[in-house]
Amino acid sequence: MDMSQHSSLDLSFDLVLYDIDGTLVDTGGAGMFAIMTAAERYFGAPSPSLDLAGSTDLGIVKNLLDHYEHTADLIDVEEFFGIYHPLLEQSLRSEQYAGKILPCVEQCLQFDQQRGSAIGLLTGNTAQGAAIKMRHFGLDHHFGFGAYGDDHADRNRLGPVAQSRATHHTGREYSATRTLVIGDTPKDIACAHAMGARCLAVATGHFSFEQLRDHGADFVVNDLSEWLAMIS
């Protein structure tokens, strides 16, 4: 996308909703290891390979059920996540996985705050998984609310949840047209558009700039340093 075409657009948003994996941080494989190990322990059989990009954790559990041919009422979701969350905490701390905060994340969060935008999470992680990851990377103080992958299995239903939690948290109303969703996958783009918001797609996950552009993101950048340059 030619960024110059946006030069006359208002790029300030009242509500900015951030995805976690591939957008704020890269866990270096720690998240994948934790969920696959949790699946192996819970179901007692090797985990299938999982497509985590943009998926909700509840959606991943449903895929696991299909794989292991369990029916939905045969899994105790809380028990499953009770295995997964400590594994996630351990694997993030493990030297085996070189996790990192992605470029310019903290500067973007500071910029949003200075500008008075409300900042929240819109992620496929469970609320607890999100809290574990944000604490691990020292980003937790930025986020007072969010919508999570244990609110709905369908990511497209998470936008309105985030919006109403933003209102509950700040006491202000937020229109979808003044909301920006920032994510790294086509599912983030679909989720933003399902709620009527704009999507900034960042090519810091597994999808290229071109793929994200072709999926209809309103703005695409190689990483958040480019976005910061556009908005500041």
Site residues, Mg ion (CB under 5 A): 19, 21-22, 184
Minimum CB–partner distance for residue 72 and Mg ion (Å): 25
In the bound complex, which residue of the shown chain has the CB atom lying closest to Mg ion? 22
Minimum CB–partner distance for residue 106 and Mg ion (Å): 18
How far is the C-alpha of 118 from the C-alpha of 102, rounded, in Å?
A: 21
Minimum CB–partner distance for residue 64 and Mg ion (Å): 19
How far is the C-alpha of 28 from the C-alpha of 96, rounded, in Å?
A: 9
147 forms beta bridges with 122
Residue closer to Mg ion, measured from CB, 52 or 65: 52
How far is the C-alpha of 110 from the C-alpha of 176, rounded, in Å?
A: 22
Residue closer to Mg ion, measured from CB, 89 or 184: 184
- Helical ranges in 22-104 per DSSP H: 30-43, 57-68, 77-93
Residue closer to Mg ion, measured from CB, 14 or 21: 21
Chain-centroid distance of CA 50 in Å reads: 16
How far is the C-alpha of 183 from the C-alpha of 46, rounded, in Å?
A: 30
Query: Residues 27, 99: contact at Cβ < 8 Å?
Result: yes
Residue closer to Mg ion, measured from CB, 91 or 123: 123
Minimum CB–partner distance for residue 129 and Mg ion (Å): 13
As given in the structure block, the two tokens for residue 145 are: 């609310």
Residue closer to Mg ion, measured from CB, 70 or 157: 157
Query: Residues 199, 189: contact at Cβ < 8 Å?
Result: yes
